[in-house]
Chain A
Amino acid sequence: QKEVEQDPGPLSVPEGAIVSLNCTYSNSAFQYFMWYRQYSRKGPELLMYTYSSGNKEDGRFTAQVDKSSKYISLFIRDSQPSDSATYLCAMSAFRGTSYDKVIFGPGTSLSVIP
């Protein structure tokens, strides 16, 4: 079993739809959770990060973490064609004095159709 699993898609939605992207993980030590967006032929860029369980909102984006279920989500409201990209979840475990290396999921490809 991989440490972080993510539905690869591709996911295709009409403009204005609400998008739900999800990841599951197996390591209960993960405490720092991130979502990255990667456009074609570009490096990943950090969208949001959050610690432990709960919700965090930033504009049209909401990150949700459920540690009891080992499940994280990213919601995109009012999706736009410019949101078309691959979305990567990533997480890290705390190792005493600092966080361990970042583990990425395989990514979900999203297309928002005008």
Chain B
Amino acid sequence: QSVLTQPPSVSGAPGQRVTMSCTGSSSNIGAGYDVHWYQQLPGTAPKLLIYGNYIRPSGVPDRFSGSKSGTSASLAITGLQAEDEADYYCQSYDNSLSPNWVFGGGTKLTVL
């Protein structure tokens, strides 16, 4: 069981908008810790997609956006493309067992 909860899967057609959630608790996201997002293409290492809740690193298309509210965060992808098919993970910090950086279980995005 991951500390951060993500839906196992989401799907959308090319060109559509999809969102995926990341739900935490008062010891992690709700405590004010930032959320970061990673994209993992099949057979590769995770790649930073969003940091500091909503900031895109250089080179990441503006089709990807992040937000955070309360004990949850969300990743949105607009103008869905076939190459977006991947696993997406959220990450934050949990102060119940210090030090402890925690991840969500991941969401598999399928582009129909």
Chain A complexes with chain B: no
